[in-house]
Amino acid sequence: MAAKKKPAKRKIKIDKKDAAKRIKKILAILKREFPDARTELNYKGAFQLMVATILSAQCTDVRVNIVTKDLFKKYKSPKDFAQANVKEIEADIKSTGFYRNKAKNIKAASQALIEKFDGKIPKTREELVTLAGVGRKTANVILANAFGIPAISCDTHVIRLSRRIGLSANSDPVKLEFDLAEIVEEKDWAVFSHTVILLGRYVCKARKPNCNNCPITVYCPAAHKPELW
Ligand code: SF4
């Protein structure tokens, strides 16, 4: 039997001026809708946030929070992870998936923190991305959440919704981040990520957007248009 053809990616044309106007209105609504929007990962301090974010790759925040509840009692500092046997870390984080890579990265990042950064999480993107397992997205999560430095985190929900809402035609996270940075005010970068993630998680789900109960229907070109999902 012939392999099923993947549907072609929807081509989107973006009017940046229009997108900038709409995102202002959309954000005003989302801020009211999700007044306490923040990352749903549980953590204390930048180091725990780094570990939790590494664990969250291909895993739900709920699962990560279950794992880190015990993990952060057992490993209290970069030193604890750096000195631990990687097999033991693997066993402790196994249920988050991809546990071999994650354990290796957490141990290596912890070692680098001790050797190069005096055991503290650095506050620049350039330094953060030198740590094992920390890419641009994770660095942005740390900057915005742990240090209050404006940064947009392009996770799977932000990528999907930005296209669906007509804010960018890019699905490459770095290109998308630059597009969004042009139309979202810098002071709103963190709140943009948090509220859009919540909208994507609870209302505008990948396969079944709930347009009837979506607060931004009036500003969304894809509202009630399955062909644009
Ligand atoms: S109106 Fe529909 S497609 Fe648009 S963001 Fe809301 S749920 Fe998603």
Backbone dihedral region for residue 219 (phi beyond 0: left; psi -120 to 50: alpha; all else: beta): alpha
Residue 203 DSSP class: T
**What is the predicted pLDDT for the residue at 5?**
58
The CATH number linked to 30 is: 1.10.1670.10
Number of domain units in the chain: 2
Task: Annotate 140-155 with b (16+ C-beta within 10 A) or e (fewer).
Answer: bbbbbbbeeebbbbbb
Give yes or no for residue 64 CB within 6 A of ligand 1: no
Which range of residues forms the domain containing residue 83? 45-147
The pair phi, psi for residue 101, each rounded to 5°, is -60, -45
Please give the model's pTM, rounded to 2 decimal places.
0.90
Cα(11) to centroid of ligand 1, in Å?
18
Tokens describing residue 178: 């630059």
Tens digit of pLDDT for each residue in 172-216? 999 999 999 999 999 999 999 999 999 999 999 999 999 999 999
Among 122, 147, 172, residue at a domain's last position: 147
Cα(26) to centroid of ligand 1, in Å?
11
Instruction: Return the ligand 1 atom nearest residue 213 CA.
Output: 7
Tens digit of pLDDT for each residue in 67-91? 999 999 999 999 999 999 999 999 9
Give yes or no for residue 203 CB within 6 A of ligand 1: yes
Residue 1 falls inside a structural domain: no
